[in-house]
């Protein structure tokens, strides 16, 4: 099966390696493809070379497959689609976030470019995919028939996909967990302990579910891989860029220039919308410097006592 993967960051490259290893004919588009073509290896996934069935390219004209997986940052997706013609019939978003300019999720943005859209999301690190470690994800497509076909096509011996028609639930689960991961990183960076992290994950999940259902999501979707599963992964590992960003906020460290932190954009979006999202509001204030760690802690702990 031919697949196009648009975006050769860590996750896009990890997917390309996984699908190439599984026997798919993969075209991997990169903004700067020359180093990838020459080295056959991404600097973000050192020691994990591209299989022979993966063709890196910098020319979108080489991307002629029916299915295109978009592994671009959510904040750049709209501009990319506006500037480039897309010929794929099915666009699969691999992004997790909310576009700050429009307030839309990535599948809504993709719907302007491809007739069928889907969301691939869930607990996964690029290196795990590239190493062939067992991984389970959610494929969300409103068209049940197309979703079933995508589930069959995009599952591999080591990558198991579960399907849903609840696109908004799967999409928001992936976006909102990034916000909670920032908070978890800040909490651990501040030395507040594992008990506090467990409480944050539980209350963060309640916040995610409350907000997503207010937007039309099925609350059961949030209990699956795209919500709770991804939340557990990103709140507990330094492999998560959002977790590392939160940790850096608490410790005064800095991340490498150009690091994508989708959770920060999502937190700011929720704060600006004045949604019932106290953790997201606190993350936005912490990142913007209007609260310090102690102020953030005081803000959350001083909220009125309530039923769980």
User: What positions carry a catalytic annotation?
Assistant: 177
C-alpha to C-alpha distances, 66 to 26, 92, 116, 223, 305, nearest whole angstrom: 12, 11, 10, 31, 53
C-alpha to C-alpha distances, 22 to 18, 51, 99, 159, 285, nearest whole angstrom: 6, 10, 32, 10, 44
Cβ neighbours of residue 23 closer than 8 Å, sequence gap 6 or more: 53
Of 61, 10, 62, whose CA–CA distance to 36 is shortest? 10
The whole-angstrom distance between residue 189's C-alpha and the CA centroid of its chain comes to 22
**What is the end-to-end Cα distance of the chain in Å, rounded?**
48
In degrees, to the nearest 5, what angle opens at C-alpha 27 toward C-alphas 26 and 30? 135
Burial readout 205-234 (b: 16 or more C-beta within 10 A, e: otherwise): bebbbebbbeeebbeebbebbbbbbbbebb
C-alpha to C-alpha distances, 72 to 6, 34, 143, 155, 290, nearest whole angstrom: 7, 18, 23, 21, 30
Is residue 16 a contact partner of residue 54, using CB atoms and an 8 Å limit?
yes
């Amino acid at each position: 099966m031919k697949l196009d993967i648009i975006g050769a960051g860590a996750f896009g490259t990890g997917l390309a390696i996984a699908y190439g290893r599984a026997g798919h004919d993969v075209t991997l588009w990169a903004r700067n493809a020359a180093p990838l073509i020459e080295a056959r290896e991404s600097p973000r996934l050192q020691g994990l070379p591209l299989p022979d069935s993966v063709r890196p390219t910098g020319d979108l004209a080489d991307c002629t497959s029916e299915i295109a997986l978009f592994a671009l940052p959510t904040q750049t997706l709209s501009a990319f689609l506006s500037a480039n013609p897309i010929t794929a019939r099915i666009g699969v978003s691999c992004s997790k976030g909310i576009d700050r300019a429009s307030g839309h999720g990535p599948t809504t943005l993709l719907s302007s470019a491809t007739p069928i859209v889907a969301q691939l999301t869930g607990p996964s690190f690029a290196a795990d995919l590239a190493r062939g470690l067992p991984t389970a994800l959610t494929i969300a497509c409103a068209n049940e028939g197309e979703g079933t076909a995508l589930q069959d096509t995009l599952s591999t011996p080591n990558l198991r996909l579960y399907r849903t028609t609840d696109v908004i639930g799967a999409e928001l689960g992936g976006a909102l967990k990034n916000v909670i991961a920032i908070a978890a990183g800040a909490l651990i960076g501040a030395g507040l302990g594992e008990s506090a992290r467990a409480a944050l994950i539980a209350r963060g999940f309640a916040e995610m579910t409350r907000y997503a259902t207010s937007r039309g999501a099925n609350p059961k979707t949030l209990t699956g891989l795209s919500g709770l599963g991804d939340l557990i992964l990103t709140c507990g590992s330094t492999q998560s860029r959002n977790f590392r960003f939160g940790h850096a906020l608490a410790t005064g460290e800095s991340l490498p220039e150009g690091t994508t932190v989708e959770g920060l954009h999502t937190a700011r979006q929720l704060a600006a919308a004045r949604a019932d999202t106290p953790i997201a509001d606190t993350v936005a204030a912490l990142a913007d410097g209007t609260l310090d760690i102690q102020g953030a802690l005081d803000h959350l702990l001083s909220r009125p006592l309530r039923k769980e």
